[in-house]
Homo-oligomer: A and B are copies of this chain.
Amino acid sequence: MKIAFIGLGNMGGPMALNLKKAGHTLSAFDLSAEACKKFAAEGLPIAASAAASVADAEVVISMLPASAHVEGLYLGSDGLLGKIAPGTLVIDSSTIAAATSRKVAEAGAARGIAVIDAPVSGGTGGAIAGTLTFMVGGSEADLERARPVLEKMGANIFHAGAAGAGQTAKICNNMLLGVLMIGTSEAIALGIANGLDPKVLSEIMRRSSGGNWALEKYNPLPGVQEASPASKGYAGGFGTDLMLKDLGLAQENAAAVRASTPLGGLARNLYAAHSLAGHGGLDFSSVIKMLQKKA
């Protein structure tokens, strides 16, 4: 299958490579010449422009930083939707505002182009390993068309609902994750302040009603789990600033639909303080530092 892939960052690049390894014909592009050069060196065919990449493409995939980039790419008088052939399937894997996803999907539909939103979780590790989780918004039929392609890049594919629902599912999940991580950090820090062994306490809570993904797979305290980012100096993993972006999207969305999310809102503002303190580049589980006595 002929696939155009636009956006070769830390996530997009490895995703595109996995599609190439799976035997697809790729035509990739990024506005950064450096990114193009880097992935060209890894064997990815680079097009001269986004417009050039989509010529003859059966599937177009994009992986961009924010709503403004996705709008800029697809919409407007010179937008890519005017250059993609009707009948093409567009998969936007960027994490952006649900409203933007819906806008692009509607503009696509008006031109006979199916657009689904398929944001991912799983981090750069999952992108490289091809084990990402996709949360998809769009019709069942379009998801089935996309499935063979998504399966080359990910291990889990969830159908969240109509256009934009993939975005909403992702921000709901990540808002909850942001809360779990701080809540877990608070419990562990409170235990330590009372003299408890954090390994023992973590294990008790993991097997009790406090059990959650952070305790299971991603303990925020160094030394509790060997493979966690915490045990590797909070390197790798999912950066504080990326979590901050997702929690910002969640608060923007909550404002738009007048929802009340007190813990999710507080979590955003705590990660923001953690980032201002200079930890934006560390894994988000490093937020536990904010609750511990500074050495």
Interface residues of A (CB under 8 A from B): 98, 121, 133, 135, 156, 158-162, 164-165, 168-169, 171-177, 179-180, 182-184, 186-191, 193-197, 200-201, 203-205, 207-213, 216-218, 244, 248-270, 272-273, 275-278, 290-294
Contact = CB atoms under 8 A, between A and B. Distances in A.
Contact of A201 (B160, B184, B208, B216): B160
A263 B204 contact: no
Contacts of A121: 208-209
Contacts of A260: 186, 189, 269-270, 272-273, 276, 290-291
Nearest to A262: B269
A264 B268 CA distance: 12
B190 A261 contact: yes
A257 B172 contact: no
Q: Is the interface of A mostly helix, strand, loop or mixed?
A: helix
A264 B191 CA distance: 13
Contact of A265 (B179, B256, B268, B294): B268
Contacts of A272: 254, 258-261
B269 A261 contact: yes
- How many copies of this chain are found per oligomer? 4
A79 to B, nearest CB: 16
A182 B261 CA distance: 9
A175 B190 contact: yes
**Ordered nearest first, which 8 A-B pairs have the shortest CB separation?**
A248-B255, A212-B212, A179-B183, A260-B272, A176-B210, A265-B265, A262-B269, A260-B273
A282 to B, nearest CB: 13
Contact of A164 (B169, B194, B266, B278): B194
Contacts of A261: 186-187, 189-190, 269, 272, 291
A232 to B, nearest CB: 18
Contact of A251 (B173, B191, B195, B265): B265
A263 B254 CA distance: 17
Contacts of A268: 255, 265
Contact of A182 (B187, B201, B256, B263): B263
Contacts of A182: 262-263
16 contacts: A133-B208, A159-B200, A160-B204, A172-B191, A179-B179, A179-B183, A190-B253, A190-B254, A210-B213, A211-B212, A244-B258, A249-B255, A251-B251, A251-B252, A255-B268, A278-B294
